[in-house]
Structures are given as structure tokens and as C-alpha cells.
Amino acid sequence: MKAYLKSTGRMFKRQLTRFLTIVAIIFVSVGLMAGIGEVQNKIDFAIKDYYQSQNVPDLIIKSKKMTGFSPEEISYLQYKFGTDNIQTSFSYDTKIDDEIIRIYNYELNSNINKLELLEGNFPTSDLEVLVERKTDGIKSYEVGDKINLSNGFIEKQYTVSGIVRNPLIIHKVKEPSTSFENEHIDKIIYLNNTSFMPIKITNDVYVSLADREIFNSYSKTYKTQIEELKSSIELSDVVVLSLYENFGLYSMHEFAGKVGKIAIIFVIFFLLVTALVVFSTMTRLLDEERSQIACLKTLGYSDVSIVGRYQIFISLASIIGGLMALAVGNGITKLLYSAFDIQYAMPPFPKSVPFFYFLLSFLIILTSALVVTTLSGLKLIKNKPAVLLTPKAPHAGKKVLMERIPFVWNSLSFKYKSSFRNVFLFKSRFFMTVVSIIGSTVLVLSGLGLLDNALKTENSDSLIMIAAVLIVFAGLLCALVIYNITNINISERNREIATLMVLGYSDKEVSGYIFREIYIMSFIGAILGVPLGLGFLEFVFNFISFGSISNVNWWTWIITPVITIIFTTISSMLLYKKIVKTNMNESLKTLD
């Protein structure tokens, strides 16, 4: 057992580069998958938190009568929902100096629909008022500003004592007027239950359900309950609005749902790339371990204990990569969350949320890595030790489809013929590289496309950050896959490289032999990535109702594949030294 563990330990040491490659790809994948996936979760959690802390009303019942609700109607509602759960209010929209002003008049420090004080103080006298904060659609006042308001008979001067945020208006876009069709509110003033009107009128009743847990960010149970309640209100001439009609909270929830759906695309893509990287890396690793495996087999070690070494290898790499991804994933979630600030006044980032998406992404990745490793391990291990002791037969040369088009094939130089054959011969590597480079190109394009749009937006800081993160991750993905594939090619063709050197090929020519294939695949990926990226970007812009393709600069389309190819070139060049340091004696050695 001790010797077995020793040899396992040495395998880790020998395969350190491959180990680190897998750690890195799992780090990148889980980080992005969890980071993007968790956004919806966090936003819904924040909505739920906010709903509870501000006691956001579930229903707003508006009277359509000039005189508002009668005392009998209010008693009915008090009886139906409980006196503590309703809040009466008066509101109307009026035009002063060409500006539409909404005036609320109710008990301002009420427990229902708590106004968040952003600046100043709550009113201490009847002549002090609160005003709504400035947003993209709403203008505001300064604390201490004087406002003259008239009820049609007398005019009074009020002083702004504080600036607040109304939980029902957490979005930053225009707030439609209830009295003036197709017009928007310019300012909102909150009177502190003063005798502003000659007679007291109540035209809004806020209803806050006693059970604050039921909402759960627009859960199904909540929807049923609200629909039942709405239809059970036996009043005439009223409009009953629920949180489903609230533009702010509901659209935030919907938007988060859309981000959640886009996350699925990322999950599928990264899962595919990770599985391919793990597959190609582990296949090569196992090929290099052939004689070790044969030795263990002849000594009578069971298949389980042999394959187990590689399962431990992949699990350990996955766990390390996954743990590293935890912090990065959370950072990405925070960043995307803060991007919502452009359209919504976001509540603070919720802390106490279980990392559901992180665990999910990690488990999906871990499972698929284990499955891929086990399958390739079992495939190799079912060979007899005698077969394993002989070297793996080289991939037999084969004509590729392109050779049937003599017009194209014959015009290719000899070096390219060789490269094209290899490119199309190793199908899973071709697929892995092209898919990753397409993904990388799409990420760069999304980043730059977002940047082009972001620079046209106010409060664009977090969008610029997102663009930067997308480009950084595109670079990481590209670097990882290209480094990995180049490394595999070099170790697999060690003998060919040594032979070329003996034949008198220069360092540049020899490395070109390896790099040319990588560049052909990257070129295909980068070129295919542009139209696919266009489609993706158009879909995303439409889906999240932000940005447009027409805002994307023309040169972004050209610079994107160039950036991807630069990423490829840099990552492959990292291995130039390894190629030229190949020992020529490798060509003389026996096959092993």
C-alpha cells in the first residue's frame, strides 16, 4: 500500500502541468457558471428582503370616485384585512408650471410602505414635506427648498425637510401619470397627513398582508393568493393593483429571470468546453501512464485501484479549482448585481444566501470530469498488460476531405497540407479548440459590444467593469485551451519534433510545424465566432432590453477576431521554448 501511494504521489508530481491545467479550467468554468447563475438568486433574495424590511404593500386599492372611499368602505377593508394591515392615503397628479407633480398626503412614518430617508429628516410640522429622490425620469428638490402649493382656494408655502425613496418606485425610469395620459411625473411631494384639502379624502388604500413570508419573491403560492384576494374584494368603482403591476419590483424580478436564462447558455458552453479539456488532457495523461498501468496490472492491482488513482487526481484538481472559483464567482455576481443599479435602486447585496448555484455548477462539472476520466480509464485498462507495454500506435495518416478538391489542395504549400491533415484527423481536439475559440470570440465581442453601448449610458461604471471581466475571461479561456492543446501536441509529437530537428529544420520551422495547426483551428474559430457573436449579442440586447447592435462600432467586428488571434498567439508562444528545447536524441530512442 505504501509503494502504491508513493507511485500515486509521483504521478501527481510528474503530471503537475496537466493537474494545474485542469484546476485552471475548472476555476474559470465554475467561476463564470456560478457567478452568472447566482445573480437571479441574489436579486430575488434582495427583493424578498426589501419587501419585508420596507413592508411593501401587496395590494393598492384605488377608488375611482371623486370623493374617494366612504367610511363604510374603509371599515369593510379594515375588517377584511385587519386594521393594522392597511394604510389610507390620498394622492393626485397636478400640473404646476408645465410640470406634472404627484402629491401624496398620508401618515408618512407609517409602518406600511416605509419611505427610505436618503437625506434630511422626516417632517416635524405640517408645513414640512418630503420629496422623492432624483432618478433618470424624476426631477427633485434640495433639502430646505420652498415649495408653494395651492389646493385651488388657498396657497401655502412648504419646506422640504428630507429626500426619500418610495419602495414602490425603485426603478429609475419614468413614472407614468395616473391623471394625464401618456405623460410622466416630474416631481413627487409627500405631505405629512396635513389638512391640505378642505375635506379629508382617501382615494388609495395600501394593504400589507400579515404573512410576510408568503411573498418569497413572486412565488407561485403568492400569485394564487393574490389573485384570490383581488377577486374577493367586494367594492364598486375601484382598481386593485398588486405587486405584479408594480413596474419597479416586478420588472426587476423579470429581468433577473432573464439573466438566469442567459446563464443557462453559459453553463452549457462551459460544461462542454470543460468536458472536452478534461477528456483530451486525461486521455493524453493515461497514454503517458500506459507502462505504469501495465506494471500495476501485472502485479495484480484491481481495475478499481488503478482507475481510482486518476479519479483521485481529477477530483482533487476539481476541488481546488472549485474552491478558488468561490471567491471569483461571488465577485462576478456582485458586479452583475451592481449593474442593475443603472435601471433600479438596488437594495444592498444580500449576504446570507446559500451558494446554491455554486454548488450546482461545481457538482455538474465534478461529475462530468469524473465520468470522462472513468470512461477513458476503463477503456484503456481493459487492454491486456502486453498491449499496454507496447507503445500506442501513432494515429495513421489519412487523406482528408479537402484533398478531393485538387484545385484547393494543390495550391496549398506542403507544410499546410501536413497541418490540415492533422487538424481534421484529431476530431475531438479540433472540436474543442474551435468551440473554445468561438466562445472566446463571442465573449470578446460581447465585452466590446457592451462597452460601445456602455459608453453611451449614464452610470456606466459597472457596465465597463462587466465588459472588462468578459474580455479577461475570454483571454483566460483562450489561453487555457490553447496552452493545453499545444502542450498535448508537443508531448505527443516529441519524436516528430526531434526528427525534424535532425533533418535540419530550424527552431522557427519546427515550432511552426506545431503552431500552424493551432493557428488554423483558431482562425476557423475566430471567423465563425463573429457571426455567432452577432447573433448572441442581438439576442441578449433584445432579451434584456438594453443596448443595440447599431451602437456597436464597425471596427469592433474587425478587432474582435484579431484580439482572439492575439490571445492564441501569446498562449501558444509560451510553449516555444519547450519545443526548441526538445532533445534530438528522442528521435533515436526506442519507442516508449
Partner 1 sequence: MSYLSLKNVTKEYKSEAGTFKALDNVTFDLENGEFVVILGPSGAGKTTLLNLLGGMDNATSGSIVLDDKDISKFNKKDLTLYRRTDVGFVFQFYNLMPNLTALENVELATEICKDALSPTDILKSVELGDRLKNFPAQLSGGEQQRVSIARAIAKNPKLLLCDEPTGALDYITGKTILKLLYSVSKEQNKLVIVVTHNQALKDMADKVIHIKNGYIEKIDVNKKPKPIMEIEW
Pick the closer one to partner 1 by CB: 134 or 417.
417
Among 417, 468, 528, 548, binds partner 1 (CB under 8 A): 417
Residues 509-548, interacting with partner 1 (CB under 8 A): 509
Residues 6 or more apart from 406 whose CB is under 8 A from it? none
Residue 427 CB, shortest distance to partner 1, in Å, is 14
Residues 6 or more apart from 462 whose CB is under 8 A from it? 335, 338, 339, 341, 342
Among 9, 198, 397, 535, binds partner 1 (CB under 8 A): 397
Pick the closer one to partner 1 by CB: 76 or 576.
576
Does residue 144 come out as left (phi exceeding 0), alpha (psi in the -120 to 50 range) or beta? left
401 touching partner 1, by CB under 8 A: no
Applying CB under 8 A, the site for partner 1 has a residue count of 29
* CA 570 vs CA 276, 486, 493, 573: distances in Å: 22, 12, 21, 5
422 touching partner 1, by CB under 8 A: yes
Residues 302-361, interacting with partner 1 (CB under 8 A): none
Q: Positive or negative CA dihedral for 468, 469, 474, 476?
A: positive
Residues 6 or more apart from 85 whose CB is under 8 A from it? 112, 207, 208, 209, 210
428 touching partner 1, by CB under 8 A: no
Residue 395 CB, shortest distance to partner 1, in Å, is 6
Only one of the segments 21-29, 229-237, 379-387, 391-399 lies at the binding site for partner 1 (rule: CB under 8 A); that segment is 391-399
Could you tell me if 91 and 104 are in contact, meaning their C-beta atoms sit under 8 angstroms apart? yes
User: Which amino acid is residue 494, in one-letter code?
Assistant: N
Residues 6 or more apart from 263 whose CB is under 8 A from it? 33, 36, 37, 39, 40, 357
Q: Nearest 5°: CA angle at 166, between 84 and 349?
A: 100
Residues 6 or more apart from 508 whose CB is under 8 A from it? none
Could you tell me if 542 and 450 are in contact, meaning their C-beta atoms sit under 8 angstroms apart? no
Only one of the segments 271-279, 367-375, 389-397, 557-565 lies at the binding site for partner 1 (rule: CB under 8 A); that segment is 389-397
395 touching partner 1, by CB under 8 A: yes
What are phi and psi for residue 351, nearest 5 degrees?
-100, -45
Residue 357 CB, shortest distance to partner 1, in Å, is 44
Pick the closer one to partner 1 by CB: 399 or 456.
399
Could you tell me if 443 and 471 are in contact, meaning their C-beta atoms sit under 8 angstroms apart? yes
Binding mask 477-516 for partner 1 (x = CB under 8 A): ------------------xx--xxxxxxxx--x-------
165 touching partner 1, by CB under 8 A: no
Among 271, 425, 464, 490, binds partner 1 (CB under 8 A): 425
Residues at the interface with partner 1 (CB under 8 A): 393-398, 414, 417-418, 421-422, 425, 495-496, 499-506, 509, 584-585, 587-588, 590-591
